Each structure stands twice: as C-alpha cells, then as structure tokens.
Chain A
Amino acid sequence: MDMTAAVAEPIASDQPLLRVQDLDKHFGPVQALFHVNLDLPSGKVTALCGDNGAGKTVLTKCVAGIYQADHGEFFWEGRPVHIHNARDASRLGIETVYQDLALADNLDIVQNMFLGRERLRTGLLDEDAMERAASETLSSLRVTTVRSIRQPVASLSGGQRQSVAVAKAVMWNSKLVIMDEPTAALGVVQTKMVLDLIRRLRDKGLAVMVISHNLNDVFEVADRIAVMYLGRLVVQDAATKFDRQSVVEYMTTGGFGRSGGRPAKES
C-alpha cells in the first residue's frame, strides 16, 4: 500500500464518502428496493438513472433519512452509521435538493437559505451576518446572475431558484448533495447554468448524486453512472464505460447485451 498517498487523501482513495450496502425497503406488499449497493465517492458526480418506478426516489429518501430502510447498512467515510431521520442525515453532511426545491416564494434569498437555522444576536435575527454568509456562499458557487440577494424568490428564474436551493444545501458544510431531477423544468440556458453549478460542487470536493431522466445531462456532467431497474441497482461504474445505448438498455431491461434482461419480472 502506498502510505504517502493514503495520508494525502485517506478517504477519497480508499473509501467512498457514503457506501450503501444491501439496502431493502418495502411498502406493504410492494418491495421498492432489493439489496441495493451504491457507492458515492467525494469529488465525483454520480448520476442515478432509471425508469419511473425503478426506486430512485425511494433510495434517495432512505439516504436522506426521510424513509427508514428495512435492512441494509450505511458506511460514512468507512464508519457504519445509522440514518434514522432527516436530522441524522444533515448532521452527517447529507443535504437533498428536492425537485420542488422547497423555497418560500415570499421570502428573499437570504431568508430562504437560512430558513430553520437563522442566526441570532441578542435574541433577534442577525440579518447582517446571514446576508454576508449567504453572499459568500453564492459567490463561491459563482451564482452571480441574481440582481440582489434581498430579492424575493418569487422574482427568480427557474435556474436561479435551483441555484439558491443548491447554495442553501451546501452552506452547511455538507459533504454529499443529492439533487432530484435538477434540470427537469429548465430551458437550455438555465440547464447549462445548473450543470456548471454541479461541476463546481464536484470541484469543491463534494460528493454529488444527481437523479436524472435526461441522458444528455447525465453524460455531460456525471463521472459515474448507476442504473436502477425495478428496485435493483443493476450497474454502477465510471461514466466512460457507458454509452447512451447501454444506459438505455440497462434502464429498460435491467441488463446489457441480453435481450429480455436479468430479472424477468415484468408484468
């Protein structure tokens, strides 16, 4: 083993930031996840693909602590951890940006970014400190198209809202950012803006998991691709090992080069 390299980057080289092992989840009689294994390394964008109902969202919610898995383990930086609720997840440094973004339109950017974690001074809101911190985070992500960080979120474009939601997620020293369909509702320019933002998160050393249907975006931004099919994680590997056709085949059949697919459970 190369000790010097291990000292320089002990986690990134050895362990993924988060390893999900043998995750099972069922809702009543419906088995949503079967023995899912997934690695999310730091400094890499992992794209999670799959058809509707493949279990992407359930997997995401298990990682984010919204759902509790029936079986399975999480290893955070190599240590086994339990994620029982959203608070556990955010304590570890997992932040999720949901498709609906969860921003309050009537509040301004700063107020949204600090919602629920306001800074106080002598019992009252410390607006100056919050505005400074929010502005630092936004400029570190090079989100500069907003005219003023005191404008209400209602006045922002779709891409800007996505940026605010991401900035809100990374402000808390998060290490893993999960984004659910970040480009689904966006036009071409805005999509480019969000993809640039995702690359910047990766360059800052964060692990990013992007759920997407859009293979253009996946191949543009992902370093690794994982594909789910009917609750199973059928493949995960470097993005260079895939092409568009193979991803589509994994998504639709659960396998590659074997027409019909492995788990022949289609009804």
Chain B
Amino acid sequence: MADPLKKAELTGNAAADLTAAAPEAAVAELPPEVVAQSLGEYVRAYVARIRAGESGVLPVIGAMVAIVIVFQAISPNNVYLSPGNLVNLFQQSAVFMVLAMAEGFALILGEIDLSIGFVGACGAAITVQLVQPATTNWPWPLAIVAGLVFCLAFGAIQGLLITRLHLPSFIVTLAGYLVANGLFLKILLFGPFSGYPNLIGQSDNLHTIYNLMWGTIDPIVSWVGAAVVVAGLGAFIWLSDSRRRKSGLVAPPASLTLIKIAVIAVVAIVVVGICNLNRGVLIVQEGVPWVIPIVLAVLGVWTVLLQRTKYGRYVYAIGGNPEAARRAGINLSVVRTTAFMLCSFTAGIGLLLYASLLNGMSNNVQAGYYVLYAVAAAVIGGTSLMGGRGKPLHGVLGGLVIGAIYNGMYLLQLSFEWQFIVTGLVLLAAIIIDAVSRRGSASGSVTRV
C-alpha cells in the first residue's frame, strides 16, 4: 500500500465515483487525522468538518471561553478567575466529570442511566457511614470498596433487567432512581447522626475521605508528578505515532503529534501552576488537590478500557449497530450489563468525591439533578445521545463546562429556582447541539447511499 490515492486514480472509472457525489459531506465525516498528510491538510479537513456540523471539541472550547468571560465580568469583585475560585471550580467540576464519564458508558451503548446520581449517593453514604468512629469505624479502603460494591450490584440488577427482560433503560433506571433515592435516605438515618453523617473528626479514616477532595499535594511533588505524566504520555504518543508513520499505517503528521503533546503539556503547566499559587486568605494554602490525579486516573483507565480493549470495541459496536455486533458473535447481554455496572461504579466514585466536597452526606444532596448535569456534560463534551460516539475525555471536557456554570451560579448566589432553570436550559442546549451535529452528518450520508 504505497500510495492508495495514486492507485485509486489508476483504477479509473470505478474510482471516479464515490466522493464526487457529495464531496462536502464525505469530507466532513472523515476524521481529519485519517486523511491529512500535512498540517495544512489537517486544518482544511477540520474546517470542512465544522462547516458540515461535525464540530468535535470546538463548541466545548467556545462555550468555555464565553462562560469564563461572562462570569468573570458579573461575578462579585471579579473573583471568578482568582486562583482560589479556580481550584474550587476544578473541585466542583471533578464531580461532574466523573459522573459524565459514568453516563458515557450508557450513552455510548445508546441507552441512558437516570439512576446514577442516587445510586452513587447510596454508595457514598455507605462509605461515609462505615468510616464513622462512633459506629462501625471501618478502615477507609474497606468502606470505599463496600460503597462501590453496592453500586456495582445495583448496576448489575438494572443491567440484567434491561438486557434479559428487554426493558427500556429509561424506565428501568427511572425506577432505579426512585428506589435508590429511598435507600439513600434510609442509609443516612443509621447511627446517631440525625441523618447527617459527616467527615469532621480526628479519625484517620474520616480524614482520608475528606482529603479525597480537600487534601493537597506538595507543590514540588505536583510539578515533578506532572512532568513525569506529561513526559510519559508524550513519549507514548510520539513513539506510537512515529512507529505507525514509519510502517505506512494511517497516522497524523508529525507536526500534529507535536501539537497534541504541546497542548497536554500546556494544560498540565496551567493547572498545576494555578493550584500552586497561594490561594489562602489567612494561612498559606497551595498545591494540587488530590482530586485532580483521581479524576485523571479514572479518565486514563476508562480510556484504555474503551479505546484499547475488545470490551470497549464491543461497547462501541453495540452502540453503532447491535445487529452487526450480534452477528459478529458478541454477547450483547454481557457487554451491556457490565456497561451498566461500570456506569454505576463510576458514579459511586463521583458521588464519593461529592461527599468529600460537602464534608459529609445529607438529604441536601441534589443527586437527582446531578444526573441531568452528567448527561449534559457528556453530551456537551461530544458524546452522542444516539449511541456509538463518545469518549471519557468528552465527559471531562463537558464536566468542566458544567462545573464552570455551576461555580458561576454559586458565586452569584443564585437562588434554587434559578439554578433549576439554568440546569434545564443547559441540558436543552446540550441535546440541541447533539441533534444539530447529528443532522449535519445524517444528511451527508443520505446523499451518498
């Protein structure tokens, strides 16, 4: 396969056809990196894609810039972009990011899971209850495992109902939402805490759960850690891309690989830099919160699972064409059920971070509309509600957008009524973006079939 384009020319009339029919749309559906031989071609392919509605991460970045400008202008004393608030924003976003990654498993399958907020809340409440010195006083790792096992089990039951009885996931998880909501309130009532088990106290176990969100890493260690991660990731991307280029496989141009690595490095420097500024008012407070490496770990593990393993490939195949997956010998029930389990499991991690952020669990937890935020975050990030498209990274980007809005509303001290209205509008905006981008690509394929 020296030069496929040249060969295509040689085969003559049979080759003359295909893209000629609808060049614009055909170009639009090609990921720019698979056709581009140089950076210029990449940019042109990317522009063609955006014109046709396949916008990729661009709307996320655009939305992010707009949100930052607006809230910076209207936030009291313009505190929005202060280091203290930005770290706050990262912490609040972390919850949305992890929940959006959780919802991603259901969305890629073409399903939805409405229960993740309260299922995760149950898991987190179990963990918070189990580490209480006054009652069970379990060691923190065991308490976390117990909470996450609950989530896995709940996800398994929902997944089995959906796959074995062929029930719609929307209804099953809506029922799961109510059941989990009730269970959550029950779990809160255990022990002498009047429904408000918290993480205040001297116990190491309490302290570790609290530190998931609030603990910080020493600035020097943060820099070294970030450097190691960026260097490792950069070397991996560079080596695999250049190996593919050498053996004639489809690979992005070298300049693009370098830009990718540079973007990762810049993001790392900016984030670590902001976190390492002193954001304390009375005392010195600096360093990267633990939650950032935790979110990155979730992102890394789920990205490898979805992009690099058979299991992940099957999740996408089922989302794209379940019949094709079935004929390929894939066990649909098993893949779907485990995806719902992983969805609930990840939600357990997300709500555990939330419990840590709130310094405990109470019936104030708005897990119900966190689900909507999670769906909105995943979709804003680029995951499709129609299945087959989406990555864990989309959840992280969308989670940042949602976190930015949430944080801005928090600074403005918007009342609950307004928060509900804004949440609803954000979700609506997200599905409109999804529908518009899908219509762009759908009309493209109609012209060519």
Binding site for B on A (CB under 8 A): 86-87, 98, 100, 102-108, 111-112, 115-118, 120, 123-125, 128, 131-132, 135-136, 139, 142, 144-152, 154-160, 185, 189-190, 192-193, 196
In the complex, what distance in Å separates the CA atom of A123 from the CA atom of B18?
Answer: 37
Least Cβ–Cβ distance between B4 and chain A, in angstroms: 6
Interface of B is mostly: helix
B313, A145: Cβ atoms closer than 8 Å: no
Provide the B119-149 mask, 1 if CB < 8 A to any CB of A, else 0: 0000000000000000000000000000000
In the complex, what distance in Å separates the CA atom of A146 from the CA atom of B316?
Answer: 22
Top 3 A-B pairs ranked by shortest CB distance? A116-B328, A104-B320, A106-B388
Least Cβ–Cβ distance between B389 and chain A, in angstroms: 6
- Does B243 sit within 8 A of A, measured CB to CB? yes
Q: Which of these, A123, A185, A193, contacts B309 with CB under 8 Å?
A: A123
B308, A125: Cβ atoms closer than 8 Å: yes
In the complex, what distance in Å separates the CA atom of A214 from the CA atom of B388?
Answer: 35
Q: Which residue of chain B lies nearest to A98 when distances are taken between CB atoms in the complex? A: B327
B308, A106: Cβ atoms closer than 8 Å: no
In the complex, what distance in Å separates the CA atom of A115 from the CA atom of B320?
Answer: 12
A189, B247: Cβ atoms closer than 8 Å: no
B324, A193: Cβ atoms closer than 8 Å: no
Q: Take A144-B8, A145-B8, A147-B5 as given contacts and tell me if A155 and B30 are in contact as well, using a CB distance cutoff of 8 Å.
A: yes
Q: How many residues of B contact A (CB 8 A)?
A: 50
Q: List 6 A-B contacts (CB under 8 A).
A: A104-B324, A105-B388, A124-B309, A147-B30, A156-B18, A189-B13
In the complex, what distance in Å separates the CA atom of A156 from the CA atom of B224?
Answer: 46
Q: Take A104-B317, A115-B325 as given contacts and tell me if A131 and B18 are in contact as well, using a CB distance cutoff of 8 Å.
A: no
Q: Which of these, A104, A144, A151, A158, contacts B30 with CB under 8 Å?
A: A151
B388, A104: Cβ atoms closer than 8 Å: yes
- Does B164 sit within 8 A of A, measured CB to CB? no
Q: Take A148-B35, A158-B448 as given contacts and tell me if A118 and B310 are in contact as well, using a CB distance cutoff of 8 Å.
A: yes
B18, A157: Cβ atoms closer than 8 Å: yes
Q: Which of these, A131, A156, A192, contacts B14 with CB under 8 Å?
A: A192
Chain B residues with CB below 8 A from A155, complex form: 26, 29-30, 444-445
Chain A residues with CB below 8 A from B389, complex form: 106
- Does B330 sit within 8 A of A, measured CB to CB? yes
Interface hits, B302-322 → A, CB 8 Å:
304, 308-310, 313, 316-317, 319-321
Q: Which residue of chain A lies nearest to B17 when distances are taken between CB atoms in the complex? A: A189
In the complex, what distance in Å separates the CA atom of A107 from the CA atom of B330?
Answer: 15
- Does B329 sit within 8 A of A, measured CB to CB? yes
- Does B1 sit within 8 A of A, measured CB to CB? yes
- Does B366 sit within 8 A of A, measured CB to CB? no
B310, A106: Cβ atoms closer than 8 Å: no
Q: Which of these, B17, B243, B247, B250, contacts A148 with CB under 8 Å?
A: B250
Chain B residues with CB below 8 A from A105, complex form: 320-321, 388, 445
Q: Which residue of chain A lies nearest to B13 when distances are taken between CB atoms in the complex? A: A189
B324, A102: Cβ atoms closer than 8 Å: yes
Interface hits, B6-38 → A, CB 8 Å:
7-8, 10-11, 13-19, 21, 26, 29-31, 34-35
In the complex, what distance in Å separates the CA atom of A152 from the CA atom of B28?
Answer: 11
- Interface contacts beyond A106-B388, A115-B328, A116-B328: sample of 7 additional A-B pairs, CB < 8 Å, sorted by A: A100-B323, A107-B313, A118-B313, A124-B308, A144-B7, A147-B35, A150-B250
B327, A107: Cβ atoms closer than 8 Å: no
Q: Which of these, A106, A117, A123, contacts B320 with CB under 8 Å?
A: A106
Q: Which residue of chain B lies nearest to A110 when distances are taken between CB atoms in the complex? A: B250
In the complex, what distance in Å separates the CA atom of A146 from the CA atom of B15?
Answer: 9
Least Cβ–Cβ distance between B105 and chain A, in angstroms: 15
Least Cβ–Cβ distance between B312 and chain A, in angstroms: 8
Q: Take A150-B34, A151-B31, A151-B35 as given contacts and tell me if A107 and B320 are in contact as well, using a CB distance cutoff of 8 Å.
A: yes
Chain A residues with CB below 8 A from B216, complex form: none
Least Cβ–Cβ distance between A12 and chain B, in angstroms: 29
Chain A residues with CB below 8 A from B7, complex form: 139, 144
Least Cβ–Cβ distance between A150 and chain B, in angstroms: 4
In the complex, what distance in Å separates the CA atom of A151 from the CA atom of B316?
Answer: 15
Interface hits, B210-268 → A, CB 8 Å:
243-244, 247, 249-250
A193, B31: Cβ atoms closer than 8 Å: no
A102, B323: Cβ atoms closer than 8 Å: yes
